[in-house]
Amino acid sequence: MTENDFGLYLIITKPSFSYKKIAETAVKYNVKYLQLREKELSDREILRAAGEIMSVTNGTETRFVLNDRADLAYLSGADCLHLGQDDVSLTDAKMICGKKVSEFGLSTHNLKQVKEAVRLKPDYIGFGPIFETPTKKKPDPVTGTEIIAEAVKLAGEIPVVAIGGINEVNLTSVLDAGAKNVCMVRYFMDSVHFETRVEKTVQILKKYHM
Ligand code: TZP
Ligand code: MG
């Protein structure tokens, strides 16, 4: 556990309820990062959604993260940009975003990528898929839980967010394996019990961090 760990990371993908409700809940439970990851929206729709979310999160502890797109992160004034292995490099993204975007996250799918990511000093590292997931169109091979501790160790002071196939049932196995920060997409996005699930998960994470 480092002082940079934050517990829950939320990703918005095809929610069955409003962006406003999600953003308000993230703020209410002090969720540090709230990412918009909408692969099927047009650029304009993404910018509109980003504005809607930031009208709630701006001035709070919750940082708005835009996925994939350095240009749209710059235009929307997002707090953070999340980049995958196939997106523009962190160096290029920083060039595009200038001083407008202050944080950057990187996705990794194996220990080699974690090592490379650490060299680039992102603000956090995503690691997974830990388990099988249908949420990603072309998922990388599952990492399993056994190498989570090694990924966390390699990352040092950089927080690692475990992601992919995590749910209510297997969450504790991910935490027992050494994860300090987690992200679950379907578990939250598919549910009419969104807020209750956020509250419950935040409580579980707090308990583990004590
Ligand atoms: N990156 C690695 S797995 C994943 C992403 C974005 C999707 C995780 O979705 P879910 O629904 O929590 O399995
Ligand atoms: Mg991406």
pTM of the model: 0.97
Closest atom of ligand 1 to CA, residue 166: 12
For 110-169, the pLDDT digits (tens) are 999 999 999 999 999 999 999 999 999 888 999 999 999 999 999 999 999 999 999 999
The percent of residues in the chain predicted with pLDDT above 70, rounded, is: 100
E strands along the chain, which residues?
Answer: 8-12, 33-36, 63-67, 80-83, 103-108, 124-127, 160-163, 181-183
- Residue (of 198, 195, 204) closest to 184 by Cα position: 198
DSSP per residue over 155-189, as a string?
Answer: HTTS-EEEESS--TTTHHHHHHTT-SEEE-SHHHH
Size of the chain, expressed as the number of residues it contains: 210
Closest atom of ligand 1 to CA, residue 165: 13
If phi over 0 gives left and psi between -120 and 50 gives alpha, with beta otherwise, what is residue 30? left
Ligand 1 pocket residue status of 162, Cβ below 6 Å? no
CA of 166 to the centre of ligand 1 (A): 8
Q: In sequence order, which residues have a C-beta less than 8 Å from that of residue 94 and are 6 or more positions away? A: 104
Closest atom of ligand 1 to CA, residue 183: 12
CA of 50 to the centre of ligand 2 (A): 16
Residue 78 clears pLDDT 90, i.e. is over it: yes
CA dist., res. 58 & res. 76, Å (int): 12
Protein residues within 5 Å, CB atom, of ion ligand 2: 68, 84, 87
